[in-house]
């Protein structure tokens, strides 16, 4: 009996010790990076050719939530506006998601993504989906979204996850489930050309506060390891630690530049050193001399993906300059972003002619 008791004590001790070690290992375990090789990235580039398009939300939506919530999802407008994009030879749209739209209606949200992808594919358009975003308004909620403030650029655009990440310690767990659910659902969908995991991390004064979420975002994505490339675009040279991480772990290098041609060319030359395909996921701000006429030809020559900001002027108010509101809401003589008016007529016909000369037949 005594031996049996000793044996039971020994087994219990070993089990307890084993569990402690296992828990310690789990706590210290790290996801192994699953970054594409240069060869994989180059093959992707060959398969897809020159990507050119716009950051897209339908003109009837003020933000990501109005785009994706069931009550305001607008397939008719999406179909019409993507048709205009296809008519001028654009073949790729960059589209923002939002975790709240998923949280309130998970299956409905994914079905609406499928519906969007079907519409885009019917027009020969691939999609880059964006998960998180550090830009514009910090607070958000499901349901009816605010009306645009007259003359104010992106007056209703919302961050994701924004300040709530630092206020709600449970949110990170929800975000992990969200990201993995979307990636797992669409990991083999050939209509998706790239996952842009985090738009402008560190913006809105967050700086390196965004680095932990950025790292988790890559970890979660590597667990699923979708067939499409993962990327986070560099956008601010002063954010050294963020930039280093983004450039080290992106399968395809992406970046933003609203500068004129000389500075933009310098950015391309610098990023070429990483020997991976390049996609400019934001450019074209007319007031800053980032124009279709002087930037898009460079991007085509360098075989850099060319995704300008804005397709159709609408509730996002991106025809107005970032920090220069026009309180009476009158149309600025010089649009900041966007290509078409809501009725499909171009802001500048010469821009349309230039775009078509670079895209149609290519």
CB 111 within 8 A of CB 185: no
Give the per-residue pLDDT at 29: 59
Give the per-residue pLDDT at 30: 77
Give the per-residue pLDDT at 362: 62
pLDDT along the chain (362 residues), means of 10: 37 40 47 95 98 98 98 98 98 98 98 98 98 97 98 98 96 98 98 98 98 98 98 98 98 98 98 98 98 98 98 98 97 98 98 97 66
Give the per-residue pLDDT at 5: 37
Alpha-carbon gap, residue 179 to 134, rounded angstroms: 16
Give the per-residue pLDDT at 188: 98
CB 208 within 8 A of CB 240: no
Buried b (16+ CB within 10 A) or exposed e, 34-51: ebbeeeebeebbeebebb
In eight-state DSSP terms, residue 308 is: E
* Domain-wise residue ranges, the chain: 56-359
Alpha-carbon gap, residue 199 to 154, rounded angstroms: 15
Q: Indicate the pTM of the whole model.
A: 0.92
Give the per-residue pLDDT at 53: 98
Distinct helix (H) and strand (E) counts, the chain: 13, 8
CB 312 within 8 A of CB 81: yes
Q: Which CATH superfamily is domain 56-359 in?
A: Glycosidases (3.20.20.80)
């Amino acid at each position: 009996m005594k031996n049996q008791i000793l044996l039971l004590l020994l087994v219990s001790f070993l089990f307890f010790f084993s569990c402690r070690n296992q828990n310690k290992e789990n706590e210290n375990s790290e996801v192994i990076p699953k970054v594409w090789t240069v060869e994989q990235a180059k093959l992707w580039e060959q398969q897809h050719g020159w990507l050119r398009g716009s950051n897209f939300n339908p003109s009837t939506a003020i933000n990501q939530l109005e785009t994706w919530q069931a009550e305001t999802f607008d397939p008719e407008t999406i179909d019409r506006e993507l048709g205009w994009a296809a008519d001028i030879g654009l073949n790729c749209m960059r589209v923002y998601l939002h975790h709240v739209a998923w949280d309130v209606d998970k299956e409905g949200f994914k079905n609406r993504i499928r519906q969007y992808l079907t519409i885009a594919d019917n027009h020969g358009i691939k999609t880059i989906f964006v998960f998180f975003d550090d830009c514009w308004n910090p607070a958000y909620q499901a349901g009816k979204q605010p009306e645009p403030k007259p003359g104010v650029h992106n007056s209703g655009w919302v961050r994701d996850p924004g300040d709530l990440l630092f206020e709600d310690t449970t949110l990170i767990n929800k975000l992990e489930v969200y990201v993995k659910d979307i990636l797992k659902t669409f990991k083999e969908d050939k209509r998706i050309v790239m996952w842009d995991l985090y738009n402008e991390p560190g913006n809105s004064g967050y700086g390196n506060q965004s680095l932990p979420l950025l790292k988790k975002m890559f970890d979660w994505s590597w667990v699923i390891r979708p067939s499409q490339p993962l990327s986070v675009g560099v956008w601010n040279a002063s954010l050294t630690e963020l930039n280093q991480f983004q450039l080290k772990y992106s399968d395809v290098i992406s970046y933003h530049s609203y500068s004129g041609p000389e500075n933009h060319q310098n950015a391309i030359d610098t990023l070429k050193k990483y020997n991976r395909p390049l996609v400019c996921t934001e450019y074209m701000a007319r007031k800053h001399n980032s124009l279709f006429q002087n930037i898009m030809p460079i991007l085509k020559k360098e075989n850099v993906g060319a995704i300008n900001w804005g397709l159709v002027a609408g509730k996002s108010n991106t025809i107005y300059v970032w920090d220069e509101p026009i309180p009476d809401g009158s149309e600025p003589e010089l649009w900041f972003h966007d290509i078409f008016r809501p009725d499909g007529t171009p802001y500048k016909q010469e821009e349309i002619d230039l775009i078509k000369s670079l895209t149609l037949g290519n």
